Structure formats: structure tokens, C-alpha cells
């Protein structure tokens, strides 16, 4: 058997085995734990470390995947995987990834991948319409939200003459660290990202924003960009976007929105009004591999003015010079973003949007929002749980305070919840992560899975109560 270039029959046989495994895995998801406690050594011991000089049969490779990789992975598609901002993936997109790798299109320029680039343009334009951006806006698929934020901040830097002083960026204290990383990578400097205070709902405070910009102007800095959150990673807070636009206009700043977690919730009727003003941003980072349920990796950046993207990223070289092309066919993807070789990410976005349709996606996002609100209502009605922040979108932050803990100090309650989190993760029935809010520890969950039901939210609280009983009240 030629493992490098298998025959049609062999490809079919491999494919059938893979599909068999996939259906078995997805069919049995609810019966699996989300997570099991593991040790690096135990996993390494299962893997053959010898440098493979001879090949291995496909069935053997699949066996390793089935027996040594699946059971020792966190099951991100599980309906009670509430940690971080984790998408479940979907079979449609898994097939799209398979097909994208089969075609192995490389989206560097139009002529390298004509139909794939057209599909990317089309899907980017659908996303532009979903957001309500201007008709001339452009964008690109990138690896994820961090990369999309980097692109936005790079464009902001491009638009400001900073010969007279250091650039400054303004972002709330709740902003994702990828913004600070972008500032560091782009030479702006971590120290030039100003940490703006938040209100009681963790939204940026406009008075503090204006005060910081004014103080910086007085001190000779060059204010260049304000980052607005459309769903913070801790609590899902949405900054006052329309007001931020006004401040940006007043001080001639670039407005970048980090919508990596939250922006696709604009599709849901019950959340739409929170996003008013988002469509006025100069650039926005989004993550289809979060709330469009797609598997990693696919992030997206949309910008109002493609010419600014071009001014930021265009780079000429003799080995990439193009001959005899014009207009649309001369489109050069690398002029609009940082990457040269790019996989065919658009295929899974297109298959998802076209295959599922916005009506069903709206409904799925609406169900996620309903799950978080239901959890909040159960917590507020209980006498052993309390919310740490109000639910804004599908993130919920809360803590467990059983009767024997009520008289204890905040520090002791935080320590108990920290131990509870570790014990819950090891138990495996439900998975939460954590947040620090106002200096206090919080259990944090995020509903980002179309499989999650109201019943799963009840099971989560039951799991916490059950696991808590096995913990001592103090360490």
C-alpha cells in the first residue's frame, strides 16, 4: 500500500473508517466526561516515541487517534463544556476542512485560487452585511481573534503621524490581552495601552476615557486608537459603542471593536440593540470559530476602508510581481493582511452560512442566550449560589456559598470556590473556567454550543452541589 499516494479504493476505505469514528464519537458525546484528570507522562507513555523510518497502516494511525488522543482530550463539543470561549465545531465544517485540505488552495492572490478567493470575498461581504458595515468595507479571514486584533491595531497605527510623540491606545481594564500583545508586537509598547476604568457592569467609562485622552494630549502623547469591546472575555460586557464613536470622532482616533466573542450575537433579536454603533467602527475583529460554532482556526477582520489596509500591509517583491492581470483578477490578498500563504478558511464559513442559514443560526444563538439567562434566574432564586456579575450575553459569573460558608470571610469563600472549580473539572460532568472580578474569584461559564439545553444548566448546578459536598469548607 502506498501511504503517500493511495488508490481510489484505499482513499474510500480510509474515508469510511474516519466517518465511522466521527459518527461514533459525536453520537456518544453526552455519555463522555467533558474532561478527565491527566498527566503528561501518561499520555507520552502511550505514544510510540521512535522516529518512524517505516510507514504505518492507516488503521493503526486511526487506532491511536481513537484510543490515545480522543480520551485524553478535553471534549470541546460536549454540551456542558462551559470553559473559556470555546466553540463546539460542527460536522458540516469538519467536512469543509477536509475538502479545503483536499483542494489545498492557497489564498495568496486571486490567480492562485480564483474561486476560493471569490468565495472569501463573498462570505466576508455576508459578514459585513450581518454587522451593517458600509458597502465599501473589506476584510480577510485570519487565524483567530488575536490576529484580527493585531490587524486592526496595525491599521490604527498607520493612520497617525507619531513623529511628535508616542502613540497611545485606550481600552477598558476588561479588554482581552491580545490587544496589549498587538501593541507590544507593533512597537507601540505595552505601557502605551491605557487601562480605562469600567462601570458596575464592566463597560468602559466614557468620563475616564476622555480624561485619559486629555491628560495624554497635555503630556505630549499622540492618542491614536480606542478599542471598544463587543463582549468582554470575563463577563460579556458590551462597551457603549455609539458613545465611543463620538469620542473617537472628537479626538480623531481610530475605533477598533473587539467582537471576537460577542459580535455575532447581533444576529439574535433579543441582543441586537446592545450592538448599536458597532457598524460605525473603523475596524472590527470577529471570530467565526467562536459564536458561529466553527472549528478552529478562523478569525475575521472587517475594515471600513480597504485602502488603509493596503497602505498598512502592501509589500512589493520581485518574486511575487504579477504580470498581465487587471482589476479584480489582480487582487493580492497579502496586500491587505499580514499572512502570505493562507488556507481556504472561507469554505467552512460559506458552508455554514449557506448550509444552515441565518434563521437557524439566529435561533441557536438565541438559545445560548436563554441558557445563560436561565442559569442566572436559578442562581438568583437559590440560597446557595450568588451571581458575581449580571448576564449580558451568554457568559455567567457566579459563586457557590453553601450554608456552612455564609459566615466566612470573602477570602475563604474565594478559596473554597477555587477548590470547587478544580474538583468540578476533575469530576468531568461539567466544565467551567474562572474570572477575577473586583478582586474576587468567580466561577465563569460561557454557553457557546448549539447542543446545550436548559436542562444542562440545571445539571451544572447539581454537579456543583454534588462535588462541593465532597470538599472540606476550608483547605
Does residue 258 touch ligand PLP according to CB under 6 A? yes
Give me the least distance between CB of 455 and ligand PLP, in Å please: 26
Comparing CB distances to ligand PLP, the nearer of 109 and 148 is: 148
Does residue 178 touch ligand PLP according to CB under 6 A? yes
Give me the least distance between CB of 281 and ligand PLP, in Å please: 14
Instruction: Judge whether 243 and 281 are in contact, CB under 8 Å.
Output: no
Query: Quick one: which H or E segment has residue 17?
Result: helix 8-27
The residue range among 30-38, 140-148, 162-170, 317-325 that interacts with ligand PLP, by the rule CB under 6 A, is: 140-148
- How far from each other are the two terminal CA atoms of the chain, in whole angstroms? 59
Give me the least distance between CB of 147 and ligand PLP, in Å please: 7
What does the DSSP assignment read for 381-401? H-SSEEEEE--SSSEEEEEE-
Give me the least distance between CB of 52 and ligand PLP, in Å please: 32
Does residue 85 touch ligand PLP according to CB under 6 A? yes
Instruction: Judge whether 403 and 469 are in contact, CB under 8 Å.
Output: no
Does residue 145 touch ligand PLP according to CB under 6 A? yes
Give me the least distance between CB of 446 and ligand PLP, in Å please: 9
Binders of ligand PLP among residues 179 to 238 (CB under 6 A) are 233
Rounded-to-5 percentages of helix, strand, coil across the chain: 50, 15, 35
Give me the least distance between CB of 202 and ligand PLP, in Å please: 12
Comparing CB distances to ligand PLP, the nearer of 140 and 413 is: 140
Cα 19 to Cα 290: distance, rounded to the nearest angstrom: 24
C-alpha distances in angstroms, 49 versus 44, 46, 52, 57, 215? 8, 9, 8, 17, 58
Give me the least distance between CB of 181 and ligand PLP, in Å please: 10
Does residue 239 touch ligand PLP according to CB under 6 A? no
All three cell numbers of 210, joined, read 476622555
Give me the least distance between CB of 145 and ligand PLP, in Å please: 3
- Could you say which of 141, 261, 344, 441 contacts ligand PLP (CB under 6 A)? 261
Query: Which residues, in sequence order, are bridge partners of residue 126?
Result: none
Does residue 445 touch ligand PLP according to CB under 6 A? no
Instruction: Judge whether 82 and 447 are in contact, CB under 8 Å.
Output: yes
What is the pattern of x (binds ligand PLP, CB under 6 A) and - over residues 26-65? ----------------------------------------
Cα 18 to Cα 328: distance, rounded to the nearest angstrom: 39
Comparing CB distances to ligand PLP, the nearer of 227 and 308 is: 227
The residue range among 102-110, 256-264, 312-320, 428-436 that interacts with ligand PLP, by the rule CB under 6 A, is: 256-264
All three cell numbers of 103, joined, read 483542494
Interface with ligand PLP: number of residues (CB under 6 A): 12
- The SS3 of residue 11 is helix
Angle 27-30-35 (CA atoms, 0-180°, nearest 5)?
Answer: 120
Does residue 283 touch ligand PLP according to CB under 6 A? no
Instruction: Judge whether 261 and 161 are in contact, CB under 8 Å.
Output: no
Cα 286 to Cα 233: distance, rounded to the nearest angstrom: 13
Closest among 74, 54, 79, 48 to 1, alpha carbons compared: 54
Judged by the rule CB under 6 A, the positions of this chain that interact with ligand PLP are 85, 144-146, 176, 178, 233, 258, 260-261, 287, 299
Amino acid at each position: 500500500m502506498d501511504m503517500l499516494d493511495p488508490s481510489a479504493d484505499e482513499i474510500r476505505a480510509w474515508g469510511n473508517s474516519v466517518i465511522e469514528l466521527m459518527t461514533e464519537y459525536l453520537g456518544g458525546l453526552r455519555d463522555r466526561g467533558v474532561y478527565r484528570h491527566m498527566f503528561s507522562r501518561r499520555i507520552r507513555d502511550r505514544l510510540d516515541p521512535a522516529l518512524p523510518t517505516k510507514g504505518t497502516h492507516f488503521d493503526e494511525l486511526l487506532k491511536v487517534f481513537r484510543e490515545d488522543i480522543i480520551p485524553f482530550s478535553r471534549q470541546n463539543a460536549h454540551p456542558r463544556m462551559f470553559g473559556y470561549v470555546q466553540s463546539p465545531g460542527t460536522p458540516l465544517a469538519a467536512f469543509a476542512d477536509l475538502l479545503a485540505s483536499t483542494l489545498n488552495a492557497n489564498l495568496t492572490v486571486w490567480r492562485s485560487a480564483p474561486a476560493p478567493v471569490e468565495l472569501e470575498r463573498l462570505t466576508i461581504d455576508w459578514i459585513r452585511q450581518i454587522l451593517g458595515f458600509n458597502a465599501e468595507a473589506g476584510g480577510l479571514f485570519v487565524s483567530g481573534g488575536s490576529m484580527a486584533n493585531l490587524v486592526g491595531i496595525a491599521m490604527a497605527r498607520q493612520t497617525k503621524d507619531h513623529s511628535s510623540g508616542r502613540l497611545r491606545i485606550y481600552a477598558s481594564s476588561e479588554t482581552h490581552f491580545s490587544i496589549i500583545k498587538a501593541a507590544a508586537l507593533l512597537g507601540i509598547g505595552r505601557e502605551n495601552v491605557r487601562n480605562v476604568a469600567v462601570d458596575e457592569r464592566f463597560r468602559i467609562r466614557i468620563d475616564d476615557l476622555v480624561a485619559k485622552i486629555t491628560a495624554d494630549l497635555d503630556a505630549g502623547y499622540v492618542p491614536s486608537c480606542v478599542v471598544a469591546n463587543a463582549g468582554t472575555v470575563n463577563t460579556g460586557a458590551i462597551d457603549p459603542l455609539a458613545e465611543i464613536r463620538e469620542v473617537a470622532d472628537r479626538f480623531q482616533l481610530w475605533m477598533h471593536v473587539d467582537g471576537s466573542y460577542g459580535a455575532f450575537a447581533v444576529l439574535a433579536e433579543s441582543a441586537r440593540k446592545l450592538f448599536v454603533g458597532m457598524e460605525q467602527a473603523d475596524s472590527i475583529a470577529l471570530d467565526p470559530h467562536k459564536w458561529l460554532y466553527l472549528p478552529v482556526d478562523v478569525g475575521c477582520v472587517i475594515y471600513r476602508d480597504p485602502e488603509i489596509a493596503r497602505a498598512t500591509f502592501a509589500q512589493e517583491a520581485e518574486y511575487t510581481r504579477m504580470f498581465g492581470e487587471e482589476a479584480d483578477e489582480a487582487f493580492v490578498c497579502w496586500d491587505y493582511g499580514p499572512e502570505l500563504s493562507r488556507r481556504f478558511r472561507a469554505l467552512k464559513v460559506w458552508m455554514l452560512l449557506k448550509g444552515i442559514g441565518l434563521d437557524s443560526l439566529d435561533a441557536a444563538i438565541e438559545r445560548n442566550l436563554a441558557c445563560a439567562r436561565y442559569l442566572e434566574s436559578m442562581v438568583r432564586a437559590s440560597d446557595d449560589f450568588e451571581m458575581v456579575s449580571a448576564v449580558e450575553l451568554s457568559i455567567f459569573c457566579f459563586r457557590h456559598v453553601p450554608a456552612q460558608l455564609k459566615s466566612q470571610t470573602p477570602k475563604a469563600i474565594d478559596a473554597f470556590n477555587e477548590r470547587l472549580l478544580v474538583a468540578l473539572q476533575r469530576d468531568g460532568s461539567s466544565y467551567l473556567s474562572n474570572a477575577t472580578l473586583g478582586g474576587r474569584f468567580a466561577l465563569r461559564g460561557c454557553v457557546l454550543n448549539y447542543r446545550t439545553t436548559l436542562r444542562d444548566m440545571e445539571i451544572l448546578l447539581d454537579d456543583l452541589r454534588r462535588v462541593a459536598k465532597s470538599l472540606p469548607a476550608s483547605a
